[in-house]
């Protein structure tokens, strides 16, 4: 990183999004989550991926956002239907290798699984780990968050506007998620041309 990189804005105009499910059984969630992204980002791709290898192959297509529907095992690994597996930490690293700015694990998974297998410390990526979608709250929250991000708010700012990070405050209208801001200043803008 050069000295000029410190002053360069981290902006993506016309963010490229992959909303995907690892295996079957996520059809409704895939559809609703994909629709939320497609409202703001024209380059939204929806896919059902049969294997971990298919997911890793998709990363090579240089997405800015990877929104993944999957199950995380108790030991922190993501497993496909054929028995292939990858730890969350390995997936985070692969995403970083391909310059993914946001990785969102978007299905209900226990916090212990994320703690065991999703090490993001020191990684230049925003990471959301969903504990409980809480029904329709997830879709509504995602839509509100994306509407702010698509028009210029950084993710930490948009997240804090929707769920102020005040000790003891309740957010009854939001899903239960853990948000790690490893690339907090990035702006994932809806339009594809600079201002």
- Please give the pLDDT value at position 189: 94
- Please give the pLDDT value at position 191: 78
Query: pLDDT of 163-188, one tens digit each?
Result: 887 776 777 789 999 999 999 999 99
- Please give the pLDDT value at position 173: 82
In order of 38, 119, 151, 159, 178, the CA distances from 17 in angstroms are 9, 23, 16, 19, 20
Closest among 66, 68, 148 to 101, alpha carbons compared: 66
Break the chain into its structural domains and give their ranges: 19-189
Cβ count near 62 (within 10 Å)? 11
Query: pLDDT of 105-129, one tens digit each?
Result: 999 999 999 999 999 999 999 999 9
Is the Cβ–Cβ distance between 76 and 117 less than 8 Å?
Answer: yes
Phi and psi for 12 in degrees, rounded to 5?
A: -120, 120
Identify the CATH assignment for 19-189 out of 1.20.1510, 3.90.550, 3.30.2310, 3.40.50.
3.40.50
| Sequential DSSP letters for 123-145 | -SSEEEEEEE-TTHHHHHHHHHH
pLDDT less than 50: residues of the chain: 1-7, 193-195
Closest among 131, 34, 37, 53 to 94, alpha carbons compared: 53
The CA-based dihedral angle spanning residues 88, 67, 123, 5, taken in that order and rounded to the nearest 10 degrees? 160
- Please give the pLDDT value at position 7: 47
- Please give the pLDDT value at position 42: 95
- Please give the pLDDT value at position 111: 96
- Please give the pLDDT value at position 164: 84
The residues pairing with 179 across neighbouring beta strands, listed in sequence order, are 128
- Token pair recorded at residue 107: 């299905």
Residue 41 burial (C-beta neighbours within 10 Å; 0-12, 13-18, 19+):
buried
Predicted TM-score of the model (pTM):
0.92
- Please give the pLDDT value at position 16: 97
């Amino acid at each position: 990183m050069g000295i000029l990189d410190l002053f360069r804005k981290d902006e993506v105009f016309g963010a490229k999004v992959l909303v995907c499910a690892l295996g079957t059984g996520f059809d409704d969630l895939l559809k609703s989550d994909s629709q939320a992204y497609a409202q703001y980002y024209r380059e939204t791709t929806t896919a059902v991926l049969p294997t971990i290898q298919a997911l890793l192959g998709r990363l090579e297509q240089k997405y800015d956002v990877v929104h993944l529907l999957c199950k995380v095992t108790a030991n922190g690994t993501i497993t496909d239907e054929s028995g292939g597996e990858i730890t969350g930490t390995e997936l985070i690293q692969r995403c970083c290798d391909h310059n993914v700015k946001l990785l969102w694990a978007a299905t209900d998974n226990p916090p212990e699984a994320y703690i065991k297998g999703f090490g993001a410390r020191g990684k230049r990526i925003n990471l959301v780990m969903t504990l409980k979608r809480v029904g329709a709250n997830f879709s509504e929250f995602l839509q509100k968050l994306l509407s702010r991000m698509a028009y210029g708010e950084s993710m930490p700012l948009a997240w804090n506007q929707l769920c102020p990070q005040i000790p003891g405050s309740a957010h009854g209208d939001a899903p239960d998620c853990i948000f790690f801001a490893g690339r907090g200043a990035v702006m994932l803008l809806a339009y594809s041309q600079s201002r």
